[in-house]
Structure 1
């Protein structure tokens, strides 16, 4: 099975072109094996590029633990790069079907190669039941709501960008927070489908620094939907403007929450290498 390794701001996945390739085993079983950084290709998960009846292509995204997620902002940019450069579709903008619905992606080209992609991520979902979270039931949104973890109340802001996020503003981005609390918050009973966790330090109204504990993968170098959630949370709490640069360990993502409601994500899409994966699942 042929695969392509790609990354967006360091958020790396193994991509399989299901227009041309057949998986050697179910994606839920393949994802943990192929994403393993010691015994596999290595990555934050597996992304399948498949035919769609309503768009140029469809993206299915599986975390490193084999669980399927609804959406990946960095992943969908790389899908767009592959779809355009491989000739599956030469449309610009492209339309990619995701668990969030069909997204429109504007391609920034240089010598007919995709360098950056601007994605209309749609409107953020703020109602607790739709995120979903058990916090703040009866409210229209969950903003700086106390979440008890290890005897400490953390003020959290919850946003869904098609997948659930819990944003926490902090003074310092410490390992003790990200690794000490990230996994506990991910699986907290307040989040019935688990949750992605963003720890954020505000540098100015136009720039923030963030680290992300990603549901099913642990800390990742970047998270596109997470960057979008950070921008939305920054606006809701009065910390940032509607346009903000989100600096993550893997690079910078530009996010805008428009007055009309949609969130726009702009960032790189980079191919790392290509290879062959053994057809035998026990190889």
Structure 2
């Protein structure tokens, strides 16, 4: 498997995209087993770093950077690690790694990819073993509950075909208190609407929210009038956001439709974002710009977001299976 200090192994994977936001899904147990075999070659690491949970955390960060690289890896916006759930009625527990190796608390697109992986894996098991009762049970489900660092999320399957699904995700209520986002707003007022954020382009009036992860929403009239990706990179790293932030640039088309460009924390420019679409709609509602049911136009198509008064936000959108295969991991690529 290795020479001195080197790790290499073969890792089965599946790749999905949800409105152009692509994710690689792997069972965390597969990684854990493979890494346990490789621990012996890492004598240069401290005992603390080679403890099982810490070891997996360190190596999953390395794996995410490698496997998400679009030149030397498979290429993706993020890596989803799927493990057995804590709750008996839940179908899985996910951890999400951004392409830079950092951890994301939640992804509205990513959780749909995880749900698709669970259903497609059940289909595959049934094809190879038709009598598999667990796979039969999972394949018949129309509602799935998945554990995330931002809490348990419920998904309703609306459409299904081989390699294609549409899910509605109950995203939870938006977090509007500055301290909980977290956001170091000098005013201390919540919700954070029309906050005067100092940038290289001058002061911008922004709305700051959280959908389990922090978001900064910037209204615009023309995406071509400035380098929004460069500004998104700047805002992401603002000292007002202790955990950095995702950034959405929003152009209102009508009371029921908006167009958005996304800069995602730990990833950069993406084709779409699930939590970003939700945060954009929440910001528009708070500012009186749209109704509570909005179609979000992204670079990769439409997502539908609803925020009924006094209730949680829902996100509806598609998922497609891109590929299944084997990734050949080597820690030499991370040096």
Task: Give the superposition deviation at 1:92.
Answer: 2.4
**What's 2:159 paired with?**
109
Contact 1:107 1:114 in 2 (8 A): no
Q: Which moved more, 1:46-55 or 1:213-222?
A: 46-55
Give the counterpart of 2:85 among 19, 38, 52. Answer: 52
Partners in 1 of 2:227 and 2:299 — Cα distance? 15
2:44 is the alignment partner of 1:11: no
Partners in 2 of 1:137 and 1:128 — Cα distance? 10
List structure 1 segments (4+ residues) > 6 angstroms apart after TM superposition.
none
Partners in 2 of 1:16 and 1:273 — Cα distance? 12
Higher radius of gyration, 1 or 2: 2
2:121 is the alignment partner of 1:71: no
SS in 2 for 1:13: strand
SS in 2 for 1:269: strand
Q: Which moved more, 1:174-183 or 1:243-252?
A: 174-183
Contact 1:211 1:248 in 2 (8 A): yes
**Structure 1: gaps spanning 5 or more residues:** none
CA RMSD of aligned residues (A): 1.7
Task: Give the superposition deviation at 1:20.
Answer: 5.0
Q: Counterparts of 1:126-205 in structure 2 under 5 Å? A: 126-150=176-200, 152-174=202-224, 176-205=226-255
Contact 1:210 1:246 in 2 (8 A): yes
Partners in 2 of 1:122 and 1:254 — Cα distance? 15
What are the superposed Cα offsets for residues 13-51 of structure 1, whole Å, 9 maximum, x if unpaired? 111123555465711111111100011100102111111
Give the counterpart of 1:234 among 284, 304, 307. Answer: 284
Task: Give the superposition deviation at 1:140.
Answer: 2.0
What are the superposed Cα offsets for residues 38-79 of structure 1, whole Å, 9 maximum, x if unpaired? 111001021111111122101110011100010000000111
SS in 2 for 1:40: coil
**What's 2:71 paired with?**
38
TM-score, normalisation: structure 1: 0.95
Cα pair distance change 1:68/1:280, threshold 3 Å? same
Q: Which moved more, 1:21-30 or 1:262-271?
A: 21-30
Partners in 2 of 1:150 and 1:37 — Cα distance? 30
Contact 1:85 1:114 in 2 (8 A): no
Partners in 2 of 1:129 and 1:275 — Cα distance? 43
What are the superposed Cα offsets for residues 111-164 of structure 1, whole Å, 9 maximum, x if unpaired? 577520000000000000011111254312100111001261001001100000
2:119 is the alignment partner of 1:84: yes
**Structure 2: gaps spanning 5 or more residues:** 1-10, 36-55, 123-134
What are the superposed Cα offsets for residues 164-223 of structure 1, whole Å, 9 maximum, x if unpaired? 000011111137342221111000011010000000100001000000000011000000
Partners in 1 of 2:181 and 2:269 — Cα distance? 21
SS in 2 for 1:226: helix
Equivalent pairs counted in the alignment come to 283
Cα pair distance change 1:113/1:28, threshold 3 Å? closer
Contact 1:136 1:145 in 2 (8 A): no
